[in-house]
A and B are shown apart, each in its own frame.
Chain A
C-alpha cells in the first residue's frame, strides 16, 4: 500500500503488520499523552514529587536520555572532526536517536516545569550563573542542530527526493553538514557538561557538590566524558535491537567494532576519572563539610555502597574491558552485555546525581526522604520511549537511514 514511499532495493514488512505495530506502541503513547495532559491541566500535584524531591524521575529521565543520546554528538565528532569515515554508516542512526532523545528531553522539561507557558523566561531573563541556563541554551541550540541534521534524512525519502527543491535543499544541507556537526559537537560538549554542573555546583548538597576548575565542577567533565563513552554504546545497542527486530543486518561489523573500541577506551578512562573523583570527594570534599562518605550510603533502605560498585566497576570498568579487547568486541553476546552495562551505568549515575542528592539529609536532624513516582510520572516517562520507537519505525521504513542495508541484504 505504501510501497511507493519505500526505498527501492530494501525489504519491509507488510503495511498491515506495520500499522498493527504502530497501533500497539501508539496506545502506550496515548497513555503517556493522557498523563501529560493531566500534568498540564491539573498541575504537578499529579506527581509524587514534593518539596524534598523537587527534582525526581523526570529530571533523571532528562539527564539519562541526554547522556545516552550523546551518541549523536560523539559519533558526529568522530566522523566530521576526527575523520573516522567508516562512521558515516551509522551516523544517520546516531542522529536519529539523538534527535529522539533530545526532543524527548525538551518535552519532559516542558512537562516538568510548573509554568510551562513561561518556560521561555529561561532565555528572556537568563541568569548567566546558572548551569540550567547553560543547559537550556545549549540544549535548544543543539536540538536545532539535530533537526537540521535530521531534515536531509527526511528529504531522502523516495517521493520527497523527487521534488527538485527538496532534492537540492537536501544536497546543500549535506554539503554544510560538517559545519553543523562541528557546532553540534561543541554545543554538546558544553551542555553534557552543564548537566553535570547542575548537580556539581550545589554547594548546599555535599553529596552532589564537586570542586573543579573555574566555574565548572568535576562533574561537568565527568558527564561529558560518560556521555561520550556511553552514548555510542546506546547507539550500538539500539542498532543491534533494530537488527533483531527487523531480522536484518543493517550496519557492518567493522563500523560497530570501531565505535565499540572507542567507547571502550572512553569507558576505561572514564572509570579512572570517576574513581579519582569519588576518592577525592570521599576523602576531601565531603569531610570538609562534616560528612563521612558512609553518611550518604547508610541509614536508608535503598542507597548503599552497591551503587558505587555497580556504577564504577560493574558498569564502567567491566564493559570498558570487554570493549577494548578484540575478542570482546567480536563476541556478539559480550558486546551486547558490554553496551547494555554501559547504558545502565550512565543511567544509574544520572539517577544518583539527581535522586540520591534529593534523598540524602543535609541538616543533621533531617531524615532520608524516599520517593516512588506516580503513574502519571511513569507514563510520561514511557511516552518518549513509545514516541522514539514510532519515529524509528517510520524512519526506518521510509528513509534511507542505513547506507549499508542494501549491500548487507541483497534482494535476489
Chain B
C-alpha cells in the first residue's frame, strides 16, 4: 500500500520524442496545434517573426551543393525546459510569475491573464518558442464558432506558447479523479500534434515512467536535444539517423572532434 502510494505521487515529467527520420515536414502538427489551441491568424502570415506558431517546423539543410543537398524537417514545440530545478530560461526571468514550471508534470505553463507583455521571457528563450500577440486576435465573421472553450483566446499584448496541450491533461485528470484513479494511462493524455501527425513521428508521454514509450526512446543512440549545452534541459528529444542532423541540434567549435561545419549554411 505504501509502495503504491509512493508510486502514485511520483512526479511526472512529460516530454516528447520526435523522430526526424519519420517527419515529412507536412505541417499537420502545426495546424493541429492551431486548431486545438485557438491560435489566431492574420491575412498576411509570411513574416515568420510575427506569425504565431506554437509548433513550428523548421527546414534544415546540410549546406551541401546540388546534387548532394539534403533536407531535414524539424518540428519545434516549446521544449518545456527544466533548467536547473525548474528554473527554465523563461520561467526564471518572468517578473510577474506569469509563466511557471510545474514540478508535478514538468510542464511550463503560461498564464495569459497575468502576463503583462514585457517579453523578457521571449528574450530568454533560445528556441523562439514564445510568441507575442502584437495584434488583437480577430476571426472572420462566423468563424468564432469553432473556438474551443477549453483554451481561452489570448488578448492583445500577451505572450503565448505551446502548453503541451495542458487542458487535455486537466480533462484527463478530471476523468481519472472521477473514476478514483490518480494515474493516467499513456494514451489518456496525448497532445493534439502527436495525435494528428500522419507519419507517426511524434511520441508523447511521461519521461519518468518506464512504461511510457518516450522513456525508452529517449535513450536511443540517435537521440539528441536542441542546445543541450546551454543547460536548458529540454524535454523534447529528437531522433535522427543522420549525423549532420544530430550535430545541427547544438553548437560546436570548429576544432572540436576535428569536424568543421559552417553552421551559417544550415538553413536554406
On whether A and B touch (CB less than 8 Å), the answer reads yes
| Interface residues of A, Cβ cutoff 8 Å to B | 43-45, 49-55, 112-116, 118-119, 121-122, 124-127, 129-133, 136, 198, 201-206, 287-292, 295, 299, 357-358, 362-367, 369
What CA separation (Å) do A305 and B157 show in the bound complex?
36
**Top 10 A-B residue pairs of the complex, sorted by shortest distance between their CB atoms:** A114-B117, A114-B157, A290-B251, A54-B119, A54-B122, A204-B126, A50-B49, A204-B89, A132-B95, A362-B126
Partner of B134, one of A43, A131, A364: A43
Chain A residues with CB under 8 A of B264: 299, 367
Decide if B136 touches A43 in the complex (CB within 8 Å). yes
What CA separation (Å) do A206 and B251 show in the bound complex?
11
Known contacts: A362-B126, A363-B226. The answer to whether A130 contacts B74 by CB under 8 A is: no
Known contacts: A125-B98, A130-B95. The answer to whether A43 contacts B126 by CB under 8 A is: no
Q: Name B90-127 residues within 8 Å CB distance of A.
A: 92-98, 114-120, 122-127
Decide if A44 touches B120 in the complex (CB within 8 Å). no
Chain A residues with CB under 8 A of B96: 121-122, 124-127
Decide if A365 touches B230 in the complex (CB within 8 Å). no
Decide if A125 touches B114 in the complex (CB within 8 Å). yes
Decide if B249 touches A364 in the complex (CB within 8 Å). yes
* B7 close to A (CB within 8 Å): no
Partner of A367, one of B93, B122, B267: B267
Partner of B132, one of A51, A201, A204, A365: A51
* B185 close to A (CB within 8 Å): no
Main secondary structure on B side of the interface with A: loop
For chain B, the count of residues having a C-beta within 8 Å of the partner chain is: 62
* B200 close to A (CB within 8 Å): no
What CA separation (Å) do A238 and B264 show in the bound complex?
44
Interface centre among A50, A119, A130, A365, by most B CB within 10 Å? A365
Closest to A121 in B: B96
Q: Can you show 15 pairs from A to B with CB atoms below 8 A apart? A: A50-B47, A54-B122, A114-B132, A118-B114, A126-B95, A127-B94, A204-B124, A204-B127, A205-B123, A292-B253, A358-B123, A362-B230, A363-B126, A365-B58, A367-B264
Decide if A129 touches B92 in the complex (CB within 8 Å). yes
Q: Name B220-253 residues within 8 Å CB distance of A.
A: 226-227, 229-232, 247-253
Chain B residues with CB under 8 A of A288: 229
How many Å from the CB of A83 to the closest CB on chain B?
37
How many Å from the CB of A190 to the closest CB on chain B?
15
Main secondary structure on A side of the interface with B: loop
Partner of A369, one of B49, B130, B155, B266: B49
Decide if A363 touches B123 in the complex (CB within 8 Å). no
Chain A residues with CB under 8 A of B181: none
Decide if B227 touches A363 in the complex (CB within 8 Å). yes
Decide if B123 touches A55 in the complex (CB within 8 Å). yes
Decide if A132 touches B118 in the complex (CB within 8 Å). yes
How many Å from the CB of A210 to the closest CB on chain B?
14
What CA separation (Å) do A136 and B120 show in the bound complex?
13
How many Å from the CB of B188 to the closest CB on chain A?
32
Decide if B248 touches A364 in the complex (CB within 8 Å). yes
Partner of A136, one of B50, B95, B253, B263: B95
Interface centre among B227, B230, B253, by most A CB within 10 Å? B230
Decide if B123 touches A54 in the complex (CB within 8 Å). yes
Chain B residues with CB under 8 A of A362: 126, 227, 230, 251
Decide if A290 touches B132 in the complex (CB within 8 Å). no
How many Å from the CB of B205 to the closest CB on chain A?
25
Closest to A117 in B: B116
